Amino acid sequence: MTSNNRQHLNPLSIGYFLFHHTWDTLILLFLSLNPITNLSRKIGIDPMIGFGGLLLIILGLYGIKYWFFTFEFDNEMLTINTGVFVKKHTHIPYGRIQTIQHTQWFFLVPFHLEKLQIETAGHDEKAPEAVLPLVNERVRAEIERKRLGKTRSNDIPVSRIKATTPLLSQLPITQSTRMS
């Protein structure tokens, strides 16, 4: 079914998770303002140390989310594994992939990182089937290669895909005669 070749996102995705959940983090900091200040004064430490500890806990939680978010390639499908306590495994056969949208912010260009949104025939209209927040450009090339049924990894170079698909564009839908 799937190989043991699980890959993690780029470590910079911890910052992406923090930015993506900014309001959650700010609400948590606001709600903990008074309790942390009172507790810190009661035990005799500076409240800034208490907030520093809270920020370390928040970064640790996003680090755990990063650690448990993996994806893997197989000959037949892409598998995305998420969750710490409730594990979720999303299996996406290459033949069912309709579009791959990629977004690359200007500050990610030197790192060759991009966000991939993968949509399939049975996806929800409001959200894509799967999102890979920060992955190397080679991941998109590998998915495209397997989606098109190529056998060698050098059949579709990343530069060719980048030249034919501008940023934020959708790749054309290809018809497949492959049975799922």
Closest CA to 18 of 56, 58, 49, 52: 58
Output the pLDDT for position 25: 83
Q: Which residue type is seen at 103?
A: T
Cα 134 versus chain centre, distance:
5
Give yes or no for residue 20 having a pLDDT over 90.
no
Output the pLDDT for position 158: 47
Q: State phi, psi for 142 to the nearest 5 degrees.
A: -70, -45
Output the pLDDT for position 82: 93
Of the listed ranges 15-19, 24-28, 154-158, 174-178, the least confidently predicted one is: 174-178
For tokens 């290669």, what's the residue? 145
Six-digit token pair at 36? 């942390």
Which is higher by pLDDT, 121 or 138? Answer: 138
Rounded mean pLDDT, 19-23: 86
For tokens 């008074």, what's the residue? 34
Task: Tell the burial category of 113 from Cβ atoms under 10 Å away from its Cβ (0-12, 13-18, 19+).
Answer: buried
Provide the whole-model pTM: 0.70
Residue 66: CB partners within 8 Å, gap ≥ 6? 8, 9, 11, 13, 14, 17
Rounded mean pLDDT, 90-111: 91
Of the listed ranges 73-77, 158-162, 169-173, the least confidently predicted one is: 169-173
Q: Which residue type is seen at 134?
A: L
Give yes or no for residue 14 having a pLDDT over 50.
yes
